[in-house]
Amino acid sequence: MNPLRFFTLLIFTSFSCQESVVKETKIKGFDTINKYNLSKVEKLVEISMEYRKENNIDSWTELNNFIDLFENLVNMVPEGNLVFIEDLITKTDDLIKSNFPEKLDVPDIKSRVKVVKSILLKCKYNSENKNWKDLNISLSELYISYNSLINRITSISDENDIFKIIK
């Protein structure tokens, strides 16, 4: 037998005769949010479609999209919170850039929308960094600021109605 074949055969058999060891590694892939329960959502102030039609804000699509998405945020699955928050940031940007109706084109409303956006950015940061306790606090602040925005929208609409009666 040729020495090269013999050497090749010897190396091949020495590697094939060894017992193969398969190392099993179990990676526990879980998200830490499963261990943390977010608090129940406080009641959100609602604007009915009738109210929107009466005050001519039903055609303001950016506001309607923002409100609809915000109401869906309440029903979000905690594991998917970042997706909801990022989408809501986009809708808030659209709302800020939109043409506000004349009676709602006031600093009170615009500043409240910007406050909502800043708290959304805080929520995004906490969600990305898995700071669930801080996210919970930020979400509570977000709901409060949203309610403040909606309350101010309705109060400005009501104030305009009062001034129409007085004139």
pLDDT digits (tens, 9 = 90+) for 133-161: 999 999 999 999 999 999 999 998 777 65
The answer to whether residue 14 sits within a structural domain is no
CB 31 within 8 A of CB 77: no
* 105: in domain: yes
In a domain, 32, yes or no: no
Q: Which residues of 10-41 are buried (b: 16+ CB within 10 A; e: fewer)?
A: eeeeeeeeeeeeeeeeeeeeeeebeeeeeeee
**Position 33 pLDDT exceeds 70:** no
* pLDDT surpasses 70 at 120: yes
The end-to-end CA distance of the chain, in Å, is 116
Containing 108, the helix (H) or strand (E) segment is: helix 107-128
| Number of residues assigned to the chain | 167
How many domains, the chain? 1
Q: How confident is the model at residue 35 (pLDDT cuts 50, 70, 90)?
A: low
145 domain-assigned = yes
166 band by pLDDT with thresholds 50, 70 and 90: low
Q: What is the DSSP letter of 75?
A: T
Q: Containing domain of residue 148, as a range?
A: 48-166
Structure tokens belonging to residue 51: 């109210």
